[in-house]
Structure 1
Amino acid sequence: MFPLPDGETVVRVRRRLVLDPYSNEQTLGDWSDPDRLTVEGVAIAASSTVEAVNDSRSQVITQMSIYCGPDEDIRAHDRIEARSGLWEVQGDILTSPNPFTGWSPGSEFAIRKVDG
């Protein structure tokens, strides 16, 4: 089913693991040199947009859903470059495998962008 023949190409952006000098444990680094993975043939669907305005700030929060293959390496806390913007992955990546065959049509996850 995936990649979709008329789907879009997005880039998954992930912070690399670095060694914490204080605990000697692997921890997520900063965004200065992220790991990038191109994902082709995904479907992107509009979900919602909200404008929040108060006396000191005006924000537009936009959310969309992405549908991709079930084995794509995308996780919560990644970022996605799509449609000329940088989006944050919101929550877990959801798959719905068939309980009788184990076949999965794909995965879905939400992305969000805040402007303002």
Structure 2
Amino acid sequence: MFTAGETVTVIRRTTSRDRTGDPTGVQIEHTIDNCGINQSSTSEVTDRRETTVTNVELMCPPRADIRAGDTVRLPNGITYQVDGEPWTPHNPFTAWEPGCIVKLRGVTDAK
């Protein structure tokens, strides 16, 4: 997809349960290669606190294993939550699918 794309790590919490029925909280990680990353940030002050909201558009290869509820670690080590369902553009004339677009979101409070 991208000749100089980057590798991201997808972190997914499993829904398995232990022998008493309690969630185990196990996280499974896998990587997706050749991704494009577009990032933007905005700051706002609410309740006398500055909050930075970072929005990331992640462009993944076709059939990338990523879904709502996942967490994504970018190459710089920062993690973001998947914001909504990944979108796969589809050409109705040729059936071409160039990949999927995933919106990521991160919110941090300034100290």
| TM-score, length basis structure 1 | 0.81
For 2:56 and 2:103, locate their aligned partners in 1 and report how far apart those are by CA, in whole Å: 6
Gaps of 5+ in 1: none
Closer, same or farther: CA 92–8 of 1 in aligned 2, 3 Å: same
Shift of 1:66: 0.5
> Which structure shows the bigger proportion of residues in strand conformation?
1
Shift of 1:97: 1.4
- Which among 60, 69, 76 is matched to residue 77 of structure 1? 69
Gaps of 5+ in 2: none
Amino acid at match of 1:107: C
Q: Which moved more, 1:82-91 or 1:54-63?
A: 54-63
**Cα contact 1:15–1:28 (8 A) shared by 2:** no
Instruction: Tell me the matched-pair count.
Output: 108
Identity %: 31
Q: Which moved more, 1:48-57 or 1:93-102?
A: 48-57
Aligned counterpart, 1:106 = 99
Closer, same or farther: CA 20–91 of 1 in aligned 2, 3 Å: farther
Pair 1:43-2:41 in alignment: no
**Cα contact 1:15–1:29 (8 A) shared by 2:** no
- Which among 65, 84, 96 is matched to residue 57 of structure 2? 65
Structure 1 residue ranges (4+ consecutive) displaced by more than 2 angstroms after TM superposition:
19-22, 27-30, 54-58
